[in-house]
Chain A
Amino acid sequence: MSNHFTRLAARMHVIPPLRRCAFLAAGLLCLPAAAQAHGILGDRFFPATIASDDPFAADELALPTITSFGHETDYEVEYSKSIFRGFALGIGAGYVDARPPGEQASAGWDNLEISPSLELFRDPGHEIILTGGLDWEIGGSGSQSVAGRSSTFTPTFKYGKGFGDLPDSMAYLKPIAVTGTVGYALSGRNGEANSIEWAGAIEYSFLYLQNNVKDQGFSNFTAHLTPIVEYNFSSPVSAGGGGTTGTINPGLIWSGQVEQFAVEAMIPVNRASGSGVGVIAQLHFYIDDMFPQSLGRPIFGGPR
């Protein structure tokens, strides 16, 4: 799902909310469907990350993602629909409510974002996945008060790797997995630098620990927790673009059968990234499990 900090940093804003969300949700429920297994690779389940994109092209819905950082609160929704096995099309929207001290408050819909993803390589045995994608922020599609008029294109490479193939002598490191993205943002705005967008996550799966390494006697609730640290950075590459900005986000994800809930702190890495600690939270639905015979299936072909 989309790069939250990049959009925040671009103008300290985010996605359009609820009237559009309601239409979008209604539309989603009416679509035909057949999808991918969300985040499952070999023995491992990767939960959906919230501050960085994960590498799975799946049927999923993030509704809502709420970000409070600095003097801005954003409400986002993002839906990903598998077109065929390994290829999904995402659409994101968000509503921005910015109240900077000493300045006029502004609120409105951010630009829509379209994000196709194509899984390029999967190795379940070694828990590796590589994915190519593109994020297209459609300039002028949001409110003039908060959204830019120019589009931004960000070709992105995504990866995921679980460490279940470590030797048994390192058994307690096997629940670790990493995901990440590296993208090059081509800005269409005059005077705005292109940038490298790099984000990712390191996570420790209690489920993997419990079921594959050592039964800890966890309750069903605890076994579905994943402690996680995400990071999300933007490094301008053009002259005058300034330095790298971003946040490091420690948090926790709980994954249920068809839904997950995640909450993370957002810690700015330097003064240019903001002041104070923010928070991001998300409710996420696995559409492939909610609607396995309809909306949760790829439009063309069967599920994985």
Chain B
Amino acid sequence: MITRTLLAVTVISWMATPVLAHAFLNHAEPGAGATLAQAPQEIALSFTEKLEPTSSGMSISDAAGHDMEAAAPAISGNTVTVALKPLAAGTYRVSWHAVSLDSHRTEGSYSFSVVPPG
């Protein structure tokens, strides 16, 4: 009885409407806490859901708070990429916000460092 009920609820739930969930960060390049010997030329984030392009975005700032994006973020499907200005050695902060197609919003931030060998 319990099993049947659970199965019914689950099946009906999934059939009732397309699932559109919160967009959580799935992968970041460079990733959180990364220490890089060579400065990246872009930041690429992928999410668990497709994004609403006009409401999602990303910014990168250096320790002084200066914006380091060379262009506006490009959003396609579930990915956001942004080209960077040349990065000197230092720590940088990536801040993103993602709005999935069902209008649910998530946000996050992380840091990475550029430390040239030597």
Determine if chain A interacts with chain B. Answer: yes
A residues adjacent to B (C-beta < 8 A): 17-18, 21-22, 25, 29, 37, 40, 42-43, 45, 63-64, 75, 168, 171, 207, 210-215, 220, 257-258, 283, 285-286, 288-294, 303-304
Query: Residue B1 contacts which of A18, A43, A215, A294 (CB distance < 8 angstroms)?
Result: A18
The answer to whether A290 touches B2 (Cβ under 8 A) is no
B102 at interface (Cβ–Cβ under 8 A)?
A: yes
Q: Is the CB of B34 within 8 A of A215?
A: yes
Q: In the complex, what's the smallest C-beta–C-beta distance from A8 to chain B, in angstroms?
A: 19
With A211-B32, A215-B32, A258-B21 in contact, is A288–B104 under 8 Å at CB? yes
The 3 lowest CB-CB distance pairs between A and B, nearest first, are A215-B31, A214-B33, A292-B102
Which residues of the other chain, B, contact A293 by a CB distance below 8 angstroms?
17, 102
Asked if residues A214 and B13 are in contact (CB atoms below 8 Å), the reply is no
The smallest C-beta distance from A260 to any residue of chain B, in angstroms, reads 12
A290-B12 contact in complex given A213-B110, A214-B32, A215-B31, C-beta closer than 8 Å = no
What residues of B have a CB within 8 angstroms of the CB of A171 in the complex?
Answer: 33
Rounded to whole angstroms, the CA-CA distance of A286 and B14 in the bound complex is: 12
Please name all residues of chain B whose beta carbon is closer than 8 Å to the beta carbon of A289 when the two chains form the complex: 19-22, 102, 104
Closest to B2 in A: A18
Residues of A within 8 A of B12 (CB): 25, 29
Contact across chains for A211 and B110 when beta carbons are under 8 A apart: yes
- Note all chain B residues with C-beta closer than 8 A to A213: 32-33, 110
User: How many angstroms from the CA of A257 to the CA of B19 in the assembled complex?
Assistant: 9
Q: Are A303 and B103 in contact (CB under 8 A)?
A: yes
B9 interfacial by beta-carbon distance below 8 Å:
yes
A288 to B22, CA, bound (A): 9
Produce 1/0 per residue, B26-40, CB < 8 A to A: 101001111000000
Identity of the chain A residue whose Cβ is nearest the Cβ of B102 in the assembled complex: A292
Contact at B2–A40, with CB atoms within 8 Å?
Answer: no
Q: Is the CB of B108 within 8 A of A258?
A: no
Q: Are A257 and B21 in contact (CB under 8 A)?
A: yes
Does B109 make an interface contact (CB < 8 A)?
yes
Question: Given that A37-B105, A289-B19, A292-B102 are contacting pairs, would A257 and B49 also be in contact in the complex, using a CB cutoff of 8 Å?
Answer: yes
CB < 8 Å neighbour of A303 from B8, B104, B108: B104
Residue B67 at the chain A interface, CB threshold 8 Å: no
Which residues in B have their C-beta under 8 angstroms from that of A17? 2
Does B68 reach chain A (CB closer than 8 Å)? no
> Least Cβ distance of B58 to chain A in Å?
13
> How far is B112's CA from A168's CA once the two chains are assembled, in angstroms?
12
Task: Closest A residue to B45 by CB, please name it.
Answer: A211
- Interface contact A290-B49, CB-CB below 8 Å: no
Specify which chain B residues have a CB less than 8 angstroms from the CB of A42 in the assembled complex: 107
Separation in Å of the A157 CB from the closest CB of chain B? 27
**Which residues in A have their C-beta under 8 angstroms from that of B105?**
37, 304
A43's partner among B2, B16, B108 (CB-CB below 8 A) is B108
Q: How far is the CA of A83 from the CA of B78 in the complex (A)?
A: 31
Are B104 and A45 neighbours in the complex by a CB distance under 8 Å?
no
Contacts A290-B13, A292-B103, A303-B104 known; A215 to B21 CB distance under 8 Å? Answer: no
When the two chains form their complex, are residues A43 and B109 in contact, meaning their CB atoms are under 8 A apart?
Answer: yes
